[in-house]
Amino acid sequence: MDGFWGSVKSTLDSKGRINFPAKFRKSLSDEDRDSLMLVRSVDKCISVYPLSSWRSKVDLIRSKVNSEREFGIVSRRLMYQGGEQKIDKQGRLNLPSELIEYAQLNGEVLIVGYENKIEIWNPDRYREFVETTEADFLKISRELDI
């Protein structure tokens, strides 16, 4: 997997499905081709991980927490509304209703590539995120000379 970059607009249908962008499907490894892990993000969006990336993320979380209790708190909060979903033959991804509600999705959604994962945002919330982080972005970009 080379990573996920860019963004694509999609529409959430009445059954809670979105068209999963072909450009992102092409970036999935054979191992991850059809199954994705969906979890809630701290940024009020849905994080979508290929299974291999999700396994690495769980290992990283486990290595950074101080106890099994902390691991349980984090993993339970991430997973209680999420789970594994498959991309169907029409290229659609079903979003659990709890995650749709959490991310305040309705109608148009913005699917954003974020290196080893994908995020599904309410477009208004994403614009708000961009606006409220503009000063930080400019400062960090200058420091990194990009």
Residue 139 within a domain: yes
CATH number, domain of 118, equals 3.40.1550.20
Close Cβ partners of 90 (under 8 Å, ≥ 6 residues apart) = 19
What is the domain range of residue 84? 7-144
Report yes or no on 2 lying in a domain. no
Taking all residues of the chain, what is their mean pLDDT, rounded to a whole number? 91
Residue of 134, 140, 111, 103 lying closest to 18 (CA atoms): 111
- Which residues, in sequence order, are CB contacts of 53 under 8 Å at separation 6+? 1, 32, 116, 117
Residue 1 lies in a domain: no
Q: Are strands 117-121 and 108-114 parallel, antiparallel or unpaired?
A: antiparallel
Strand partners, 117: 114
pTM > 0.85: yes or no = yes
> What is the pLDDT, as a whole number, of residue 55?
85
| The total number of structural domains that make up the chain | 1
In this prediction, residue 99 carries a pLDDT of 95
Residue with tokens 């509304």: 81
pLDDT digit string, tens, across residues 36-89: 999 999 899 999 999 888 888 888 888 998 899 998 888 888 777 778 999 999
CA distance 97 to 129: 23
